[in-house]
Chains A and B, each alone.
Chain A
Amino acid sequence: MADPVNKPLTTTEAPSLWQGFTALLRRDLLIAFRQRSDLVNPLFFFIMVIALFPLGIGPEKNVLEKIAPGVIWIAALLSTLLSVDSLFRQDFEDGALELALLSPQPLFVLVLGKVVAHWLVSALPLILVSPILSIMLFMDADTVLATLYSLLLGTPVLSMISAIGAALTVGLRKGGVLIAIIALPLYVPVLIFGTGAVQAASMGMPYGGQLAILATFLILALALAPVAIAAGLRISTSG
């Protein structure tokens, strides 16, 4: 006779994929909003790095105009890299990561929830302030818009790639520089097409093509990166 209390959990009773995804997303957002410094630090880092370039290179309009796309993109890339170190570390230390590994949902769905939360917390604010910084670097209206679009499509890819690095190094005591060395070469295509779109816009040329390629990268990253992140997490927690 079936025991109503100790009945094994069947798959129909387990939360659905979507529920697993949103539960982790909501949890990570909640944690971020309770530790507000995590929310604002990458943003201030982004603003400060961009403010340093005119100080280091000189305030001439024609120079700054020329380097602005690269400056904004590299600052966005570095602040993603800095914030990603903590993506899995807290969960790894308090055991929440092991619970995620043992949960009935496939790990890549849960990982996707975490990465999306990370992007919403650390990259979206920075995209929202980028128009102000673009104007400070003397971009015109159309170029500012191109920067916004390219960052919206490109930064999720950066988050995905750096999450692979974070997953592979989460078991190590010193993750920071190692993640940078692992992830930076993989950022190259996104950087090229991100700045390419902005540069095309600043010359008054159409930039839809570059945005389409960035969107392709985003789809590829959404499909493939979670699998690699999940594999990395399983390896990091096994040893």
Chain B
Amino acid sequence: MFQTIKRLYHQFGSPRYFYEMTGKMQPWLIAGTVLLVIPGLIWGLLFAPPDYLQGNSYRIMYIHVPSASLAMGGYVMMAVAGVIVLVWRMKMAEMVARCIAPIGASFAFLCLVTGAIWGKPTWGTWWVWDARLTSMLILLFLYIGVMALNMAIENPQTAARATAVLSIVGAVNIPIIKYSVEWWNTLHQPASITLTSSSMAPEMLIPLLMCIFGFYFLFAVLLIMATRCEVLAREQRSAWVRQLVGE
């Protein structure tokens, strides 16, 4: 088991292997995205029963919840990539970490926008300074800081290492920020799904789970596409890229 992980780690550490393997994986991931997100959204938006309290407005959660989950998961993934950059100086981790930031920031933004649209009919305002909204906003700010630092430094390796330090500092701070903000103000409903139990009817839950997994596939597809471009840009002087573009 450990040997397999170690071998995979070394293989995916090579930009060329990464480029070729992800090229083969990409169609399957796109198929997974399409097969999960489209039926999940159609089921959730059209056929799932309306909520007895919120009516139809709750349906936006089929986009809102997966976005929130990915915005947070993306930051953790970026910090893990940052640790790999600092400890093992792996070139591929630098590229992946750089490509996660804008995707994660987009999901954080999507989460805030869908939350605001849902908040208008439900709470009567577009925005409330509630704990979970505010911590998502701060997560977006953290992403923006990481992106700004990465863009400001010209040397890609220095940029990646500086960004890695910042994303690790941010990841250490995220729980502190989250609990501080929660202490500060709480209005958002607590999470309905935990790992062990769910307070949701299965007709609503199954499409939601389909959307969540589908959005994870979507995240993987976007990340792979962005990272493949990054690989080509960073490795443009190497022989295999020249051969690939037919120089």
A192 in contact with B166 given A181-B148, A239-B157 (CB within 8 Å): no
B180→A186 contact, CB < 8 A? no
Encode A152-183 as 1/0 by CB contact (under 8 A) with B: 00000000000010001101101000100110
Question: Which residues of the partner chain A approach B153 to less than 8 Å between Cβ atoms?
Answer: 171-172, 239
| Contact A178/B165 with A185-B138, A235-B158, A239-B158 known, Cβ cut-off 8 Å | no
Q: Which residues of B contact A182 (CB under 8 A)?
A: 145, 148-149, 166
Q: Using a Cβ–Cβ cut-off of 8 Å, how many residues does chain A contribute to the interface with B?
A: 26
How many angstroms between the C-alpha atoms of A164 and B142 in the bound complex? 14
Contact residues, A186-239 vs B (CB, 8 A): 186, 188-189, 192-193, 196, 217, 224, 228, 231-232, 235-236, 238-239
A172 CA to B153 CA, complexed, in Å: 7
Judge whether A186 and B148 touch: CB under 8 Å.
Answer: no
Contact of A192 among B149, B168, B183 (CB under 8 A): B183
Please state if B184 and A238 are interface contacts (CB–CB under 8 Å).
no
A178-B149, A235-B158 known; A164+B169 contact, CB < 8 A: yes
Which residues on A sit within 8 Å (CB–CB) of B141?
A: 181, 184-185
Is there an interface contact between A168 and B138, defined as CB atoms closer than 8 Å? no
Inter-chain contact B173/A186, CB cutoff 8 Å:
yes
A185 to B162, CA, bound (A): 17
State whether the Cβ of B238 lies closer than 8 Å to any Cβ in chain A.
Answer: no
Q: Known contacts A169-B149, A186-B169, A231-B165: does B158 contact A238 (CB below 8 Å)?
A: yes
Query: Interface SS of chain B: helix, strand, loop or mixed?
Result: helix
- Nearest-Cβ distance from residue A44 to partner chain B, whole angstroms: 28
User: What is the bound-complex CA distance between A38 and B93, given in angstroms?
Assistant: 41
- The smallest beta-carbon distance between A154 and chain B, in angstroms, is 12
| Contact present for A181 and B158 (CB under 8 Å) | no
Q: Are B148 and A188 in contact (CB under 8 A)?
A: no
Q: Flag B122-164 by CB within 8 Å of A: 1 or 0 each.
A: 0000000000000000100110110011001101011001100
List of B residues within 8 angstroms of A238 by Cβ: 158
Cα(A184)–Cα(B141), bound, Å: 9
Q: A185-B170, A186-B177 are in contact. List 14 more A-B contacts (CB 8 A).
A: A164-B166, A164-B169, A168-B149, A171-B158, A172-B153, A181-B141, A181-B148, A182-B145, A185-B145, A188-B138, A189-B176, A235-B165, A238-B158, A239-B157
A-B contact pairs, 5 of them (CB 8 A): A164-B165, A182-B149, A185-B138, A188-B181, A192-B180
Closest 6 pairs between A and B when the two form their complex, measured CB to CB? A239-B158, A189-B180, A185-B141, A182-B145, A239-B155, A235-B161
